[in-house]
Chains A and B, each alone.
Chain A
Amino acid sequence: MSTIIKAINVSKVYHKTTVPVHAVNQLSLSIEEGEFTAIVGPSGCGKTTLLNILGGLDQPTEGKVEVDGTDISNMKDSELIDFRLRNIGFVFQAYNLIPVLTALENVEFIMLLQKRGKKERHERAMELLARMDIADKANSKPSQLSGGQQQRVAVARALASKPRFILADEPTANLDSSSTNNLLDLMARMNAEQKATFIFSTHDQRVMDKARRIVTLEDGAIVSDVKR
Chain B
Amino acid sequence: MIAIIAWRNVWRNKGRSLVVIGAMIIGIWAMAFGGGFMQSFLTSYIESSIKHETSNGQVHQPEFTQDYDIQYYIKDYSSILNFLEQTSSVEAITARSLVNGMISSSRQATGVKIIGVNPDEEAQVTELNTLIVDGTYFEGISSNPVLIGNKLAEKLKVNVKSKVVLTFQDIEGNITAGRFRVAGILKASSIAINESSAYVLKSDLNRLLNIGYNVHEIAYTTVTGTDDEALAKTLQTNFADDKVESWKEISPALVFMEQWMAATLKILIIIIMSALAFGIINTMLMAVLERIKELGMLMALGMKRTKVFLMIMLETIYLSTVGGPVGLLIGYTTIAYLGKTGIDLTDYSEGLEAIGYDSILYPMLQPMDYMQIVIGVITTAFLASIYPAWKAIKLKPIDALHTI
- Find chain B residues with CB under 8 A from A57 CB: 300, 397-398, 401
B297 at the interface (CB under 8 A from A): yes
Q: B398–A105 contact, CB under 8 A?
A: no
Cβ-neighbour of B12 out of A81, A90, A99, A105 (below 8 A): A99
B299 at the interface (CB under 8 A from A): yes
A78 to B309, CA, bound (A): 14
B129 at the interface (CB under 8 A from A): no
Q: B5–A101 contact, CB under 8 A?
A: yes
A36-92 residues with Cβ-Cβ distance < 8 A to B are 52, 55, 57-58, 77-78, 81-82, 84-86, 90, 92
A110 at the interface (CB under 8 A from B): yes
- Find chain A residues with CB under 8 A from B397 CB: 57
A100 to B305, CA, bound (A): 20
- Find chain B residues with CB under 8 A from A110 CB: 301-302
B366-404 residues with Cβ-Cβ distance < 8 A to A are 397-398, 401
A161 to chain B, nearest CB (A): 7
- Find chain A residues with CB under 8 A from B293 CB: 94, 96
Give the residue among B1, B300, B307, B398 with the most A Cβ atoms within 10 A: B300
Cβ-neighbour of A92 out of B1, B12, B307, B401 (below 8 A): B401
Q: How large is the interface on B (under 10, 10 to 19, 20 to 34, 35 or more residues)?
A: 20 to 34
Q: A84–B300 contact, CB under 8 A?
A: yes
Q: B1–A109 contact, CB under 8 A?
A: yes
Q: B301–A90 contact, CB under 8 A?
A: yes
A35 at the interface (CB under 8 A from B): no
Q: A100–B12 contact, CB under 8 A?
A: yes
Give the residue among B8, B12, B293, B398 with the most A Cβ atoms within 10 A: B398
Give the residue among A52, A94, A100, A114 with the most B Cβ atoms within 10 A: A100
Residues A82 and B5 in contact in the complex (CB < 8 Å), given A57-B397, A57-B401: no
A114 to B401, CA, bound (A): 22
Cβ-neighbour of B302 out of A77, A96, A105, A113 (below 8 A): A113
A112 at the interface (CB under 8 A from B): yes
B9 at the interface (CB under 8 A from A): yes
- Find chain A residues with CB under 8 A from B307 CB: 113
Q: B305–A92 contact, CB under 8 A?
A: no
A114 to B307, CA, bound (A): 13
Q: B1–A81 contact, CB under 8 A?
A: no
A86 to B294, CA, bound (A): 20
A98 at the interface (CB under 8 A from B): yes
- Mask, B302-314, CB within 8 Å of A = 1, is 1111010000000
Return the chain B residue nearest A52 by Cβ: B398
Q: A81–B9 contact, CB under 8 A?
A: no
A167 to B297, CA, bound (A): 13
Residues A82 and B302 in contact in the complex (CB < 8 Å), given A58-B398, A92-B401, A99-B294: yes
- Find chain B residues with CB under 8 A from A96 CB: 293-294, 297, 401
Q: B398–A78 contact, CB under 8 A?
A: no
Q: A100–B301 contact, CB under 8 A?
A: no
B336 to chain A, nearest CB (A): 38
A157 to B303, CA, bound (A): 14
- Mask, A93-109, CB within 8 Å of B = 1, is 01010111100010011
B324 to chain A, nearest CB (A): 23
B240 to chain A, nearest CB (A): 72
Q: B303–A98 contact, CB under 8 A?
A: no
Q: List 8 A-B contacts (CB under 8 A).
A: A81-B303, A85-B301, A85-B303, A92-B401, A99-B294, A100-B8, A101-B5, A101-B8
A contacts, CB < 8 Å to B = 52, 55, 57-58, 77-78, 81-82, 84-86, 90, 92, 94, 96, 98-101, 105, 108-110, 112-114, 157, 161
Besides A92-B297, A99-B294, 13 other CB < 8 A contacts?
A52-B398, A78-B304, A81-B303, A81-B305, A82-B302, A84-B302, A85-B302, A90-B300, A96-B294, A99-B12, A100-B5, A113-B307, A114-B302
B contacts, CB < 8 Å to A = 1, 5, 8-9, 12, 293-294, 297-305, 307, 397-398, 401
